[in-house]
Structure 1
């Protein structure tokens, strides 16, 4: 390969890298906007996001104690999902526990 071909290849690689960098930067900015909007929605609905992780431990404890209906109710209150989604989630927790 001669010097001109190597330089042309180098320029092509640099342009490709620059293009990828711009796309990643745009995706990061878009994700940040979505996160800000989601934070506003969560705040407007009054959902405490810090309690979700701790609450799942409570749901697991209810499942271990055989209080499946109470676990489903607690899961629904924490997440705001429907009855079927909460039952499916508690069933998954139950299967993971056994």
Structure 2
């Protein structure tokens, strides 16, 4: 394969990784805003309630997985969020 094509593919991959990271940040920001709006309307944050329940049952990995699916965040962000819930109690 031509070296130019390889470098082009590497560059395209790097750009794609950048877009994915930006999307994850946007999703996190949007989720925080939605939670804030829900709080203002007096609605409970059911995902956080579910995560706290899982933590109380000792199911930290399951809580992280559930938050990753619900929020679209990466593993590290989800782990930090779930651990922050544990610290708030």
- Relative to the length of structure 2, the TM-score reads 0.49
- Relative to the length of structure 1, the TM-score reads 0.45
Q: Which has the higher contact order (CA 8 A, sep 6+)?
A: 2
